[in-house]
Amino acid sequence: MRTHVARKRFGQHFLVDRQVIADIVELLALQRSDRVVEIGPGLGALTTPLLRCLDHLHVVEIDRDIVARLRQTYSPGQLTIHAGDALLFDFGNLAAASPGGLRIVGNLPYNISTPLLFHLASFGNCVRDMHFMLQKEVVQRMIATPGSSAFGRLSVMLQYRFVMEWLLPVPPEAFEPAPKVDSAVVRLMPRPVAELSVADEGRFAALVSAAFAQRRKMLRNSLAGLVDEARLEAQGLAPTCRAEELSVDDYLRLATALG
């Protein structure tokens, strides 16, 4: 089988460090009957160790050459291959057949990591947990606290839906080809539905998006047309604050007040 050349357009950096791979599998604490889907299996560095722990594995892969390699390497009894774009994939269909909740894992393509995380968040109610390898800076943004420069739209929207934990730093040399950035493994655990208190998630998302679209501006300017100064003050928020100074609860409270 010919050597596969990593494709930049797919953001391919293949994990090759055996210790990192073993650490990830250990962190997953798999049961054989778990319904697991791996995003971007690549050359199978994580796929093969996962299969040693599972009765069956699902994978989502966009690269047709890699799909062909997977079909040659693994039997249908071991692996179900979903050929296509993870950004368009309906993870809810897989979760429907899994009463225990879907477990999602992957070395996510760094060039689409943020939109992919937003896509995956929409399936939070049918997921048990998610474990991802991501660019270190993205993980820092995911778990950032209010007031920090890393705190942004991604932080607010994911922290509303998930409890997140930084698990493992991963250096560039763990990949082939080596990326120009450090990476990290993060765990996302969906919050119980009862904790998702906002009535109109569309309004909440629009509010957060508007606030951070011009994050250097004061809220009275960035949210002009959505929220007036009186409404901000009524919620105990200074109109001169900037987006990163508000907590997730502040945004939830403000979105609820707009209803």
pLDDT tens-digit series, residues 31-59: 999 999 999 998 899 999 999 999 999 99
* Range(s) within the chain of domains with CATH label 1.10.8.100: 201-258
In this prediction, residue 193 carries a pLDDT of 86
Dist. CA 127–CA 189, nearest whole Å = 8
CATH of range 8-195; options 3.40.50.150, 3.30.300.130, 3.40.50.720, 1.10.3720.10? 3.40.50.150
pTM higher than 0.75: yes
Q: What is the pLDDT of residue 3?
A: 58
Q: What is the mean pLDDT of residues 79-99?
A: 91
Q: Return the CATH number of the domain spanning residue range 201-258.
A: 1.10.8.100
Each residue of 184-222: pLDDT tens digit? 999 999 999 888 888 889 999 999 999 999 889 999 999
Distance, CA of 144 to CA of 142 (rounded, Å): 6
Q: Which residue has the tokens 């001169």?
A: 240
Strands of the sheet containing 36-39, edge to edge, are 79-83, 57-61, 36-39, 102-107, 127-135, 183-190, 162-170
pLDDT of 121 over the 70 cut: yes
CA distance 210 to 198: 17
Cα distance from N-terminal residue to C-terminal residue, the chain = 59
Q: For the chain, give every residue range classified as CATH 3.40.50.150.
A: 8-195
Please report which confidence band the pLDDT of residue 2 belongs to, taking 50, 70 and 90 as the band edges: very low
**Which pLDDT does position 10 carry in this prediction?**
44
